Amino acid sequence: MVEWITSDGLTEYQRAVDWMETRANAIAAGQADEAVWLLEHPALYTAGTSADPKDLTQPDRFPVHQTRRGGQYTYHGPGQRVVYVLLDVGKRGQDVRRFVRQLEAWVIATLAEFKVTGELRDGRVGVWVQRNDKPLGLMGQPQEDKIAALGIRLRKWVSFHGLSINVDPDLSHFDGIVPCGIQDHGVTSLVDLGLPVTMPDVDLALRHSFDQIFEADVK
- From residue 135, give the alpha-carbon distance in Å to each of 8, 139, 140, 172: 38, 11, 9, 20
Question: According to the annotation, is 31 in a ligand binding site?
Answer: no
Alpha carbons 77 and 165: distance in angstroms, whole number: 11
151 has binding-site annotation: yes
45 is in an annotated binding site: no
State the catalytic residue, choosing from 16, 177, 180, 205.
180
Judge whether 69 is annotated as a binding position. Answer: yes
71 is in an annotated binding site: yes
Q: Confirm or deny that 77 is annotated as ligand binding.
A: no
- Contact in structure between 149 and 162 (CB atoms under 8 Å): no
173 contacts 75 by C-beta, under 8 angstroms: yes
The answer to whether residue 97 is catalytic is: no
Q: Is 90 annotated as a binding residue?
A: no
Residue 149 marked in a binding site: yes
Query: 75 among the known binding-site residues?
Result: yes
150 is in an annotated binding site: yes
9 labeled binding residue: no
Say how far residue 60 (Cα) sits from the centre of its chain: 23
Catalytic residues: 180
| Binding-site annotation, residues for substrate | 69-76, 149-151, 162-164
| Binding-site annotation, residues | 69-76, 149-151, 162-164
